[in-house]
Structure 1
Amino acid sequence: MTRRVLDVESVLAFVTIADFQSFTRAAEALGTTQGAISVKLKRLEDRLGYKLLERTPRLVRLSAQGSVFLNPAREFIAAHDRAMAALVCESRRFRLGIAEHVAGPEIPLLLARLSERDPALTIEVRLENSRSLLNAFDEGALDAVIVRQEDDRRSGEDLGPEHFGWFAAPGFYHQPGKPVRLAALAPCCGVRDIAIRALNSADLEWSEVFVGGGHSAVMAAVSAGLAVAALSCRLAPPDAVEVGQRLGLPALPSSRIMLHSTLTDHRSRDALRTLVAVYREHRVPVHASVAF
């Protein structure tokens, strides 16, 4: 009986496609093309004699055999990476800064994927306001930062749009003719600047009744019904509602999320590709079509 030998790159292609449920985003994460990753998957399926993934015009999902093979495939890749790391014996640090108003529920998965791809990588994450992170980046204290575009005009990797809205608790009451009660981040926060410029341009009176304390504190103030806040539509508290139209508040301009990095070596760029792919995956709206 001929022994079937697995190809590491083909198995990695399968696992990555399964994780992202997208050929396009898997190719981005692996730094290759959709065509190349399709060829690797076909090679693996031919080697095993099973169809591992089912592909339709709207989604990619595991076949019955793919579901059985996925965890052993992960273990196969992890064993390969451990073996390679043992030979290299090079423990490295990856110092990543993420702006507080940008960080969302994708962060734990992002860190897990980075660790899976490079077990010798020690990841350090710093959550602060954009300006503090950019200063640390310019001083060489951070290897990469994720911030909003208007906080820094230099060129970088565009991770996608960020849309903002006015959020409050469902029962929040604003007395007509009175200043809008506003909860905001610290005075150095760009989101606060956007909100105040919009209110001033619309000639609306406002009063900050809750200032500072970080993004989580502002969201807590919103959930408690203390005030209205300008927040990312992606990161607003699940129990809050958009009240801009109801209260006659001005529309807030959208932003772009940018990745800045000085890293150029192969292993670091590989980590950055994984970071970008995971971040973009979790920024796709729930009802958006999945790209293949």
Structure 2
Amino acid sequence: MLAAWLLLLPLTTMAQDAPNWFRPDGGWILVGVLAVGALVATGILQGRAGRAIETRPIAGLVAAEDAIGRAVEMGRPVVFVTGTQSITKPGTVAGLSVLRLVAEKCAETGARLIVPCIDTIVTRIATETVEEAYRQAGRHDQFVPDDVFFVSNRQLAYTAAVNGVIEREHPATVFLQGEFSAESLIFGETGSRAGAMMIAGTDKETQLPFFVTTCDHTLIGEELYGAGAAISEDAQLLGSLRGVDLGRAAVLALVALGIVLEIAGVGWLRTVLGG
């Protein structure tokens, strides 16, 4: 009898330790996820249907045109840094969307554009983006392939190389768009010392203070993604952006309602949500 119990004990333990597929007290989390997903899906469908989705002007993008015009007037180049991460990072993809706008403006005005890259795949995409911008502007002969180049996939080596480019070329404008780490402050200080107009953007909240203090304009957090959607004018991206914003508004409204009810001594919302 004892031997049989010892044999069945591991099976009993496994049955007790097996995780549940769903948390009984997490039902409202599921409802919230489904609600936000429905809003995003609705926004995407509206975008596909051709409904105009307006986005608020982003100061950094508005200033980009003036910054490129400044470079033309001064006869100095524009440097665009796509971040220090690979193409697998969403911030890098959003930064390349901003590069598209900058490349188009540089091609239209005849400004020289220099793009040092940390990743070989990013280098290829950046090269095609810039080349296509010059081709569409009818100035393909002015495109210089050597101005879009791979430097190094090592963080500090790349940082040193970009600083060297800024020090040697004395650009009128430096764009820092993408994901950055400890080198953000170094880039900002180097560009400021060179007298360049600095326009930065990142989704890394730990690096935002350095960009805000050293750059003229900064795309903060999801403004970088919003910029990519606004520039590309992709209906699906704009629709998903609208859906996420509506989800945020709903959450804020729910929080405000909860605060008012708690002040009034009515706790039914907290009870319903399991608080």
TM-score normalised by L of structure 1: 0.27
Which has the larger Rg? 2
TM-score normalised by L of structure 2: 0.29
The structure carrying a bigger strand percent of its residues is 1
